[in-house]
Structure 1
Amino acid sequence: MIPREIFKKIRHIQIRTSHKVDEMLAGNWHSAFKGRGIEFEEVRPYQIGDDVRAIDWNVTARSDQPFVKLFREERELAVHLLVDLSGSQNLGTSTQTKRELIVELGALLAMSAIKNNDKVGLTLFTDGIEKSIPARKGSRHVLRLIRELLYCEPIGTGTNIKQALEHLSRVSKRRTVVFLISDFQDSQYERALKVAGRKHDIIPVVIADPREHEMPNVGLVRLQDEETGEIITLDTSSRRNRDRFAELYRLQTETRDNLFRKLRLLPIHLETGSDIVEPLHKYFHQRENRS
């Protein structure tokens, strides 16, 4: 049984998210994700104007008239949220932390999938797999996913995207639409991303905070790495230090984005304190046009 105060918070997120789904995303989701392919439905007698390439010669040979095969688009999708809960997600220098942004995003994507009658699953990871929930349908299932996004207390603090992608390949046997939600503060995951991309439809969602690319001038500060625990003292009044900080971020971002381009992945970029609906709306349009 979920405690009342926790249930109220989950329901609040669900209700707030459902409005955004209704207003902006339901139609876009349907058009951006086309299902797994074409599925045979039935045969019927040939009619003038039918494509002769659709004639079922086996059935025709057993009958006294030609028959054609009918197909329908298989609409049901399997969607999976692969979510990074490493220590760096606790950063938040605006109106929300990266973890809070991830919760809102995860709820929005799960609600969109369920509204389109798709299955949705969830894997939470750090430098290990923290929680894995198989894809299912239904509003009760969405409530469970939101609860895990809100209240999962990860054991690990680091990031291992490679391990998360390998885990996904083991548990998802069919082709899946995968939202890989992370700040991508990791390395050596390139091959795993390439391999996973051959089987699944991978959508990188890059989560960032403004202070990660722009250091303010606030004098001497003590900074702690949330993933490693390392503490350093930094003079932020030094222009050289601020420029070096910005350059390191630029290089990291450039390396990541070059990888996405090389693998022909279309990422979504989200930042704390900013609207998330419009970037998703824009992405779904780009994806539809790209298809």
Structure 2
Amino acid sequence: MLTTSQILKKVKELEIKSKRLTRHLFTGEYHSAFKGRGMSFKEVREYTAGDDIRFIDWNVSARFNHPFSKLFEEERELTMMLLADISASSLFGTVLARKKDMVTEIGAVLGFSAISNNDKVGSVLFSEDIEKYIPPKKGRDHGLYIVRELLTREGKKKGTDISRALRYLNNTTRQKCIVFVLSDFLDPGFADALRVAGKKHDVIGIKVYDPMDMQLPDAGVLEIEDAESGQVARIDTSDYLVRKAHQDAFFRHSEWCKQVFTRAGCDLLHISTKEDYVKVLQKFFIGRT
């Protein structure tokens, strides 16, 4: 367990890193990638050369015997929701970070990207149950609170129920949201709930995985335990067929996840715990502009 001073230090480090990335990399991309709800009337001003004649306000122009143009501005305010998987499998990690650490850091960067654009951000932390709901708000202090919860809260339940988290989101939010689901998606039954959520929200999945999820080392006989079910098994990793079967299962699951998101009209990113997630996010943001 982290001490209070360690938590505060880590939260501050995440804030500094997130703000630096947001300032230098994501501000423009985030703003362009996620549009507001449309355009709203702002004011009229005297017509100048180059103004679109479709936006001439004929009533005002007639009153002053001079052409005036309508000005519009983007209705910018958006709401971002971070659905973060804090089930037992998120505590697994063999290289630079656990999956939960990566989820926390990506969540911090996304959250501060929203806050720097004056958007609201909230979060649902889930396992097989809803562990914590943080209603969306604006502001730095609220962003820090979300980061602190992502950093410190661990699931009371071990399993993963993504459908429950998506249904909870739909029941607690009326307006359309940008929804990032951060998980390893070790849950075989969330396709229907994702399809429903995808009709209402702009849903992006971020599949976080550890390199050993994909590839076992050649390390002889290992005793492994499923973090969520508690099942224990012994496997011989020196056997090529065992390693290949493990890798094939990973790729089948990844392809299945991709198909589930595509059918729901949603995006899915894959990020390894040893990968530079900044490049993956930036490429995604730019691709949506």
Equivalent residue letter for 1:253: S
Read off the aligned partner of 2:268 and give its amino acid letter.
P
TM-score of the superposed pair, with normalisation by structure 2: 0.90
> Percent same amino acid among aligned pairs?
41
Q: CA separation in 2, counterparts of 1:7 and 1:49?
A: 53
**Aligned twin of 1:189:** 190
Structure 1 residues 215 and 141: alpha-carbon distance in aligned structure 2, compared to 1, 3 A threshold? same
Judge which range, 43-52 or 264-273, deviates more: 43-52
- What one-letter code is carried by the residue in structure 2 that aligns with 1:130? E
Return closer, same or farther for 1:3/1:255 CA change in 2, 3 Å cut-off: closer
Aligned counterparts, 1:1-291, within 5 A:
3-42=4-43, 70-288=71-289
Give the paired residue count: 287
The Cα of 1:132 is off from its aligned counterpart by 0.5
Q: Indicate conservation of the 8 Å contact 2:81/2:124, yes or no.
A: yes
Cα distance in 2 for partners of 1:203, 1:135 equals: 18
Query: 1:50/1:142 Cα in 2 relative to 1: closer, same or farther (>3 Å)?
Result: closer
Would you say the 8 A contact 1:32–1:287 is kept in 2? Answer: yes
Query: Given residue 183 of structure 2, which amino acid in structure 1 is its aligned partner?
Result: S
CA distance in 2 between counterparts of 1:57 and 1:161 reads 53
- For 1:275 and 1:238, how far apart are their aligned partners in 2? 31
Alpha-carbon displacement from aligned partner over 1:237-278 (angstroms, at most 9, x marks no partner): 222211211121121111111222223322222111221111
- Superposition deviation, residue 174 in structure 1: 0.5
Task: For residues 94-148 of structure 1, give each alpha carbon's deviation from its aligned partner in whole angstroms, at most 9, with x where no partner exists.
Answer: 1111111111111111111111111110110000100010111111111101110
Q: CA–CA distance in 2 between the matches of 1:49 and 1:12?
A: 48
More divergent stretch after superposition (43-52 vs 161-170): 43-52
5+ residue gaps, structure 1: none
Shift of 1:13: 1.6
Contact 1:165 1:192 in 2 (8 A): yes
Equivalent-residue separation in structure 1 for 2:61 and 2:19 (angstroms): 50
In structure 2, runs of 5+ residues without a counterpart are: none
Alpha-carbon distance between aligned partners in 2 of 1:47 and 1:101, rounded to the nearest angstrom: 51
Q: TM-score, normalised by structure 1?
A: 0.89
Check conservation: 1:36, 1:175, Cα contact below 8 A. no
Q: Secondary structure at the match of 2:28?
A: helix
Shift of 1:56: 7.6
